[in-house]
Structure 1
Amino acid sequence: MRKTLLLISLFLSKMAFSQVVESDSVRKSMVADTSIAEPMLLEKPDLSVFDTLSYAEEYKRDIWRFTIGVRGGLSRGRYTLQEETINKVGSTGLPVLDENGKVVKNRFINNATFNSGYNVGLVFRFVRGSFYTQPEIGFSQKAGRFDILNNDGSLYKRVNGKINAIDIPILVGIRFRDARFFFGPTVNFAYKMNSEMKSALKEYTQESKLNHEFFTRPIMNFMVGLGFEFKNMFFDLRYEKGLNSYTQETLGSSNSPAPFKLLVDGIHLNIGFLKK
């Protein structure tokens, strides 16, 4: 009987010890798991990283920001004339006659090649989200070429023209990372032609007419472009499409006037700096 009680006592003691060991093991395991999970629970999400597929959402969450900058670069321009046959006139405005007593006429035609100029300007940019608007004011040379032919079709004169103008582009665009796409109207105020163009035209009108009043002001063209930004620097390539003639004047004798209409297309490569 004593042996039986002793065996029962030893069995119960062993069961109690195993439960204590198991409980302690479970507790340590839970502590270990908590030590691993705790940093994950305390880690906060990076709220500064926010990506969206919607430009509209990006626009709503941002505010308008303003920056100013400067730009400058080279231009390549091309003239488009209304091709006409025009009487040559003298300093008095009367037609010039050849040795046979006939009025000397020359034909103005287009030359599709580009001519070089330059442009500079101030940039005012208003940004909100991925959208921005960018009014500018600048100076540009509207370069191009046209040809004047003799009666027999031979080349009489090739004119490398340049027109000085004040430009006011009103651009809107979309930014994507370091790239941007933009477009908009540009208002031009032409006021002066270069000496080569003036010398050629004065054979067909009085020189006194070839001043700032010769040009129609203002006119509106259209501009589209693509740009890239690197910190404070930017580069852009623009195409300006001529929509209106820079002049509505006539050339030739008073009894046979011919319209002189001139449109200009231009490609502008710019480098600039923005204050950020």
Structure 2
Amino acid sequence: MLSESPIGIYDSGVGGLSVLRAIGDALPRESLLYVADSAHVPYGEKTRDYVERRACVLADYFVSRGAKAMVVACNTATAAAIAQLRQRHPGLAIIGVEPAIKPAAHLTHSGVVGVFATTGTLASPKFAALVRREAPEVRILFKPCPEWVRLVEQGVLDGPEAEAAVRAPVSELREAGADVLVLGCTHFPFLRDAIQAAAGPGVPLLEIGVPVARRLRHQLQERGLLRADGPGQLRLETSGAADALARQASRLLGRPLHAEILAERWR
């Protein structure tokens, strides 16, 4: 494992690109290998065993590509599989994601925090333990929003359809007293403008990417694996349609990008 080795990042689709964007901003010298497991999206409606199996397949793939670190850029997959992945590949730096419950608990004035996430994340024991540990004195309101994942996967980020999809869930939590909202799925930052408009200009929306990039940098630094020169390269791969990923990623990241299909054994 060398400092020039890539960092593997994956999600069930394009949502993890919000995390990749934060990592690229924080670590511009690093080479990034992003896998969109689009043939299996959405994870939030799959069983825990199914998500674990896909996590192991993709972790094995990153190891086969010589990755020096792996970022599980999906709350559902983190909740279902992060412990198993660390046991399976103890020498690999593996970073998971989790909703920003702790900072939300510090920011709230009403004592009520709203969390938007997938069904799988909200139902997981890991998420329940996070809430008990980080926000025991705060009332947490949960709202699963699987439709938001579909919108982002389809590239519908603004306009009437996006506005209609976010309006009712946001209003429900705001009317219940939530004065801080947590975007607990990596897809959701791409709907930030629509969510902010529905919530109001003064309502904090907490994302995941920046804290993940900070933890990743720290782990690489501790292991002596930060790349000294660059810029790094970005490679996109998918278990689904490469042209669709290239089109979506180009729009979401704001620059022309190319994508390739994973080898059959990893799909």
**TM-score normalised by L of structure 2:** 0.23
The structure that has the greater radius of gyration is 1
Instruction: Identify the structure with bigger relative contact order (alpha carbons < 8 Å, sequence gap 6+).
Output: 2
Higher fraction of strand: 1
